Amino acid sequence: MTEPFFFSRTASLSLGDVASLTGAEPAADTSLERRIGNLAPLDRAGPNDITFFDSAKFLNALAATKAGACLIAPRFADKVPSGTATLRIAEPYRAFVLVGRALFPGALRPSSLFETEGGHVGASVHRTARLEAGVIVDPGAVIGPRAEVGAGTVIGVGAAIGPGVRIGRDCAIGANTTITNTLIGDRVIVHPGCSIGQDGFGYLMGGQGHIKVPQTGRVIIQNDVEIGANTTIDRGAIRDTVIGEGTKIDNLVQIGHNVAIGRHCVLVSQTGISGSATLEDFVVLGARVGVNNHVTVGEGAQIAALSIVTHDVPPGARWGGAPAKPVQLWMREVKMVERMAIQKYERGQANAASTAAKDD
């Protein structure tokens, strides 16, 4: 129980391999035949490990490290201890990630929880479903009529794939995920507990009760999307809900019906996007952002955490606050309110002291 290693690594890499992979420049005295087999932070690294350094606030940890090798920005290279091989590179953490991907390819996407090969006898696959060669279906999974699943895809324990759903190649569908009314591209990762393709939240309000609006659209998820655990994506009502290629969605995100999300967007945890909103390409939403219905967030815009977006955001803008506005304006408002609050507090304290002195 003291050594629970969950991810097996490939064969170790030589420092020459690391230099070729990352473009890092080894120090003159570095042995390129030296091998490393693991990743570790500065304070826990040993002779078999590679680490990285990219911030002056960790200089003490760098001085004490026992790492076999360190990826480091050139300006700090002379701070590396003598027993640690120095690999100079402008972006140390990016290089560290590339090494990690090479050492631990199995950590890049979920695998079969049952280590299944092919379809497990405990899975239920409808006779009209079509699975390409190399699909893995874990125990308890259900694949419905006319569903199609591409080669290399893993369907996790207890996942439910509805009628007519299409899932591309080399995807990973997490345990206890439900997918209906959805078309999914290649290399898509859906983490456990997601619900995709269910009804959108649509009602015609009235004094005698609320009439449900039919939701007849689909969810379209393009290539290389990753969707975090327990995220929900509603199908469209009168047009499709679309997630553009390369977009990365964190855990616990809610995406409403008819939402259009562009390519390579980033949505951080607990964000909620209301129906018919549009996010153009490369938009970033911080944690717990709320986006109102029918709002458009322009290409490359960034929204600060805890913000509420109630109006269209121009391309490339940085907004924050509730309601959200340009960051500089928002920060000025925050400072002004803070100054007013401090002044009022100080006046109150002075009045209280004066009253106490009179009472004495």
Catalytic residue, from 191, 257, 264, 311: name it. Answer: 257
Amino acid at 294: H
Rounding to the nearest 10 degrees, give the CA dihedral for residues 121, 125, 131, 133.
10
Q: Exposed (0-12), middle (13-18) or buried (19+): which is 54, by Cβ within 10 Å?
A: middle
286-to-156, 262, 304, 307, 317 alpha-carbon distances in Å: 29, 16, 5, 8, 14
Question: Is 257 considered catalytic here?
Answer: yes
Distance CA 297, CA 317 (A): 9
Contact 224, 242 (CB under 8 A): no
Packing angle between helix 92-103 and helix 15-22, nearest 10 degrees?
120
Phi, psi at residue 283, to the nearest 5°?
Answer: -80, 145
**For residue 262, what is the enclosing H or E element?**
none
Strands (E), 187-228: 189-190, 195-198, 203-204, 211-212, 219-221, 226-227
Catalytic residues: 257
